[in-house]
Amino acid sequence: EAQVTQNPRYLITVTGKKLTVTCSQNMNHEYMSWYRQDPGLGLRQIYYSMNVEVTDKGDVPEGYKVSRKEKRNFPLILESPSPNQTSLYFCASGALKSWGTEAFFGQGTRLTVV
Amino acid sequence: AQSVTQLDSQVPVFEEAPVELRCNYSSSVSVYLFWYVQYPNQGLQLLLKYLSGSTLVKGINGFEAEFNKSQTSFHLRKPSVHISDTAEYFCAVSEDFGNEKLTFGTGTRLTIIP
Protein backbone atom coordinates (compact mmCIF):
# COMPACT_ATOMS: atom_id res chain seq x y z
CA GLU A 1 0.00 0.00 0.00
CA ALA A 2 1.31 3.43 -1.00
CA GLN A 3 1.80 5.50 2.10
CA VAL A 4 3.72 8.12 4.01
CA THR A 5 4.55 6.96 7.53
CA GLN A 6 5.40 9.28 10.38
CA ASN A 7 6.64 8.30 13.80
CA PRO A 8 5.81 8.88 16.50
CA ARG A 9 2.16 9.91 16.22
CA TYR A 10 2.23 11.61 19.62
CA LEU A 11 5.18 13.02 21.52
CA ILE A 12 5.50 15.01 24.72
CA THR A 13 8.95 16.35 25.50
CA VAL A 14 10.68 18.97 27.59
CA THR A 15 12.25 22.19 26.45
CA GLY A 16 15.74 21.72 25.07
CA LYS A 17 15.70 17.96 24.68
CA LYS A 18 16.64 17.05 21.12
CA LEU A 19 14.11 15.00 19.20
CA THR A 20 13.61 13.53 15.74
CA VAL A 21 10.35 12.85 13.94
CA THR A 22 10.78 10.30 11.21
CA CYS A 23 9.04 10.27 7.84
CA SER A 24 9.23 7.48 5.32
CA GLN A 25 7.49 6.96 1.96
CA ASN A 26 7.31 3.84 -0.18
CA MET A 27 6.39 5.45 -3.49
CA ASN A 28 9.89 6.35 -4.72
CA HIS A 29 8.94 10.04 -4.64
CA GLU A 30 11.60 12.66 -5.21
CA TYR A 31 9.79 15.47 -3.41
CA MET A 32 9.22 15.48 0.33
CA SER A 33 8.13 18.23 2.64
CA TRP A 34 7.34 19.02 6.27
CA TYR A 35 4.44 21.20 7.39
CA ARG A 36 3.24 22.37 10.76
CA GLN A 37 -0.43 22.98 11.46
CA ASP A 38 -1.52 25.53 14.04
CA PRO A 39 -5.06 26.74 14.86
CA GLY A 40 -6.00 29.73 12.74
CA LEU A 41 -2.81 29.51 10.70
CA GLY A 42 -3.46 26.45 8.55
CA LEU A 43 -0.50 24.44 7.30
CA ARG A 44 2.83 26.17 6.84
CA GLN A 45 5.81 24.65 5.11
CA ILE A 46 8.92 24.12 7.24
CA TYR A 47 11.40 22.49 4.84
CA TYR A 48 11.26 20.61 1.60
CA SER A 49 13.52 18.37 -0.42
CA MET A 50 13.50 17.84 -4.17
CA ASN A 51 15.80 14.84 -4.07
CA VAL A 52 18.53 13.11 -2.10
CA GLU A 53 20.94 15.61 -0.51
CA VAL A 54 18.83 18.54 -1.77
CA THR A 55 16.91 20.44 0.89
CA ASP A 56 15.60 23.98 1.18
CA LYS A 57 13.79 26.21 3.63
CA GLY A 58 10.07 26.72 3.54
CA ASP A 59 8.14 29.51 5.23
CA VAL A 60 8.91 28.70 8.89
CA PRO A 61 12.29 26.90 9.10
CA GLU A 62 13.62 28.49 12.30
CA GLY A 63 14.36 25.92 14.99
CA TYR A 64 14.22 22.93 12.65
CA LYS A 65 16.68 20.83 10.68
CA VAL A 66 16.15 18.16 8.07
CA SER A 67 18.26 15.70 6.17
CA ARG A 68 17.72 13.62 3.03
CA LYS A 69 20.33 10.91 2.92
CA GLU A 70 18.02 8.36 1.34
CA LYS A 71 15.18 8.90 -1.08
CA ARG A 72 12.54 7.30 1.12
CA ASN A 73 13.36 9.08 4.41
CA PHE A 74 13.08 12.72 5.44
CA PRO A 75 13.47 13.15 9.21
CA LEU A 76 12.62 16.39 10.99
CA ILE A 77 15.04 17.32 13.76
CA LEU A 78 14.39 19.72 16.62
CA GLU A 79 17.76 20.19 18.29
CA SER A 80 16.49 22.36 21.14
CA PRO A 81 12.69 22.29 21.17
CA SER A 82 10.78 25.19 22.67
CA PRO A 83 7.10 25.48 23.67
CA ASN A 84 6.31 27.52 20.54
CA GLN A 85 7.08 24.40 18.52
CA THR A 86 4.12 22.64 20.06
CA SER A 87 2.11 21.81 16.97
CA LEU A 88 0.74 19.15 14.65
CA TYR A 89 3.32 18.15 12.07
CA PHE A 90 2.70 16.60 8.67
CA CYS A 91 5.11 15.01 6.27
CA ALA A 92 4.18 14.89 2.59
CA SER A 93 5.66 13.40 -0.56
CA GLY A 94 5.08 13.48 -4.29
CA ALA A 95 6.66 12.75 -7.62
CA LEU A 96 8.68 15.77 -8.62
CA LYS A 97 7.00 16.10 -11.98
CA SER A 98 3.56 16.02 -10.41
CA TRP A 99 4.09 17.45 -6.93
CA GLY A 100 2.06 20.50 -7.80
CA THR A 101 -0.88 18.29 -8.69
CA GLU A 102 -0.69 15.36 -6.30
CA ALA A 103 0.68 15.21 -2.78
CA PHE A 104 0.49 12.37 -0.27
CA PHE A 105 0.34 13.17 3.43
CA GLY A 106 1.27 11.22 6.51
CA GLN A 107 -1.07 10.83 9.46
CA GLY A 108 0.56 13.59 11.47
CA THR A 109 2.65 13.87 14.62
CA ARG A 110 1.25 15.81 17.53
CA LEU A 111 4.17 17.33 19.44
CA THR A 112 3.89 18.97 22.83
CA VAL A 113 6.90 20.78 24.29
CA VAL A 114 6.61 21.63 27.99
CA ALA B 1 3.75 34.38 -4.72
CA GLN B 2 0.49 32.53 -4.39
CA SER B 3 -1.82 32.82 -1.40
CA VAL B 4 -5.13 31.38 -0.25
CA THR B 5 -7.86 32.99 1.82
CA GLN B 6 -10.55 31.08 3.65
CA LEU B 7 -12.70 33.79 5.16
CA ASP B 8 -14.82 31.56 7.36
CA SER B 9 -12.94 29.96 10.23
CA GLN B 10 -16.05 28.15 11.49
CA VAL B 11 -19.27 27.20 9.74
CA PRO B 12 -22.16 25.60 11.69
CA VAL B 13 -24.81 23.92 9.55
CA PHE B 14 -27.89 21.89 10.36
CA GLU B 15 -27.87 18.28 9.25
CA GLU B 16 -29.30 17.78 5.72
CA ALA B 17 -28.89 21.48 4.92
CA PRO B 18 -26.63 22.67 2.08
CA VAL B 19 -23.23 24.15 2.77
CA GLU B 20 -20.70 26.30 0.95
CA LEU B 21 -17.15 26.79 2.17
CA ARG B 22 -15.45 29.74 0.56
CA CYS B 23 -11.93 29.87 -0.85
CA ASN B 24 -10.24 32.68 -2.74
CA TYR B 25 -6.73 32.58 -4.11
CA SER B 26 -4.16 34.99 -5.42
CA SER B 27 -1.62 34.19 -8.11
CA SER B 28 -0.09 35.83 -11.13
CA VAL B 29 0.01 32.60 -13.13
CA SER B 30 -2.21 29.60 -13.81
CA VAL B 31 -2.98 27.53 -10.76
CA TYR B 32 -3.99 24.12 -9.55
CA LEU B 33 -6.53 24.12 -6.71
CA PHE B 34 -7.30 21.57 -4.03
CA TRP B 35 -9.61 20.91 -1.13
CA TYR B 36 -8.37 18.70 1.68
CA VAL B 37 -10.38 17.38 4.62
CA GLN B 38 -9.12 16.56 8.07
CA TYR B 39 -11.45 14.48 10.24
CA PRO B 40 -10.95 14.67 14.01
CA ASN B 41 -7.62 13.18 15.04
CA GLN B 42 -6.77 12.12 11.52
CA GLY B 43 -4.44 13.22 8.74
CA LEU B 44 -5.21 15.10 5.56
CA GLN B 45 -7.30 13.52 2.85
CA LEU B 46 -7.70 14.90 -0.65
CA LEU B 47 -11.34 15.78 -1.27
CA LEU B 48 -11.04 17.05 -4.84
CA LYS B 49 -8.77 18.98 -7.15
CA TYR B 50 -8.91 21.23 -10.18
CA LEU B 51 -6.08 20.88 -12.66
CA SER B 52 -7.67 21.90 -15.95
CA GLY B 53 -10.77 21.38 -18.08
CA SER B 54 -14.27 21.55 -16.64
CA THR B 55 -14.57 24.19 -13.96
CA LEU B 56 -16.98 22.06 -11.92
CA VAL B 57 -15.09 19.40 -10.06
CA LYS B 58 -16.70 16.52 -8.20
CA GLY B 59 -14.99 14.88 -5.28
CA ILE B 60 -15.57 12.23 -2.69
CA ASN B 61 -18.47 12.11 -0.23
CA GLY B 62 -20.77 14.19 -2.44
CA PHE B 63 -18.68 17.35 -2.41
CA GLU B 64 -18.07 19.51 -5.45
CA ALA B 65 -16.25 22.75 -6.15
CA GLU B 66 -16.33 25.29 -8.91
CA PHE B 67 -13.30 27.09 -10.25
CA ASN B 68 -14.06 30.70 -11.12
CA LYS B 69 -11.07 32.35 -12.71
CA SER B 70 -12.58 35.84 -12.94
CA GLN B 71 -13.40 35.85 -9.23
CA THR B 72 -10.28 33.83 -8.30
CA SER B 73 -12.44 31.52 -6.23
CA PHE B 74 -12.78 27.80 -5.65
CA HIS B 75 -15.76 27.38 -3.31
CA LEU B 76 -16.67 23.96 -1.94
CA ARG B 77 -20.30 22.87 -1.82
CA LYS B 78 -22.44 20.01 -0.70
CA PRO B 79 -26.25 19.95 -1.18
CA SER B 80 -27.01 18.02 2.00
CA VAL B 81 -24.57 17.50 4.85
CA HIS B 82 -24.35 14.67 7.35
CA ILE B 83 -22.97 14.39 10.84
CA SER B 84 -20.00 12.53 9.37
CA ASP B 85 -18.98 15.67 7.44
CA THR B 86 -17.87 17.31 10.68
CA ALA B 87 -14.22 18.11 9.99
CA GLU B 88 -11.77 20.84 9.12
CA TYR B 89 -11.47 21.73 5.46
CA PHE B 90 -8.42 23.25 3.85
CA CYS B 91 -8.17 24.93 0.48
CA ALA B 92 -4.75 24.82 -1.19
CA VAL B 93 -3.12 26.17 -4.34
CA SER B 94 -0.03 25.45 -6.38
CA GLU B 95 1.17 27.31 -9.41
CA ASP B 96 1.39 25.86 -12.90
CA PHE B 97 4.83 27.27 -13.49
CA GLY B 98 7.34 24.73 -12.20
CA ASN B 99 6.75 25.96 -8.67
CA GLU B 100 6.62 23.07 -6.27
CA LYS B 101 5.10 25.05 -3.42
CA LEU B 102 1.71 23.94 -2.14
CA THR B 103 0.15 26.77 -0.16
CA PHE B 104 -2.71 26.19 2.26
CA GLY B 105 -5.46 28.39 3.59
CA THR B 106 -6.10 28.72 7.31
CA GLY B 107 -8.90 26.17 7.31
CA THR B 108 -12.66 26.13 7.91
CA ARG B 109 -14.10 24.05 10.71
CA LEU B 110 -17.44 22.61 9.61
CA THR B 111 -19.76 21.66 12.46
CA ILE B 112 -22.95 19.77 11.70
CA ILE B 113 -25.84 20.40 14.08
CA PRO B 114 -28.23 17.44 14.51
pLDDT grade, residue A102 (50/70/90)?
Answer: confident
pLDDT grade, residue B94 (50/70/90)?
Answer: confident
Name every chain B residue with its beta carbon within 8 A of the beta carbon of A50.
100
- The pLDDT tens digits for A11-42 are 999 999 999 999 999 999 999 999 999 998 99
Q: CB-CB: which of B44, B100, B105 is closest to A100? A: B100
Burial of A13 (0-12, 13-18, 19+ CB in 10 A): middle
Name every chain B residue with its beta carbon within 8 A of the beta carbon of A43.
44, 90, 92, 104
* B96: pLDDT strictly greater than 70: no
From CA A94, how far away is CA A101, in angstroms rounded? Answer: 9
Residue contact A108–B43, C-beta within 8 A: yes
**Nearest-CA distance from A2 to chain B in Å?**
14
* B27: pLDDT strictly greater than 60: yes
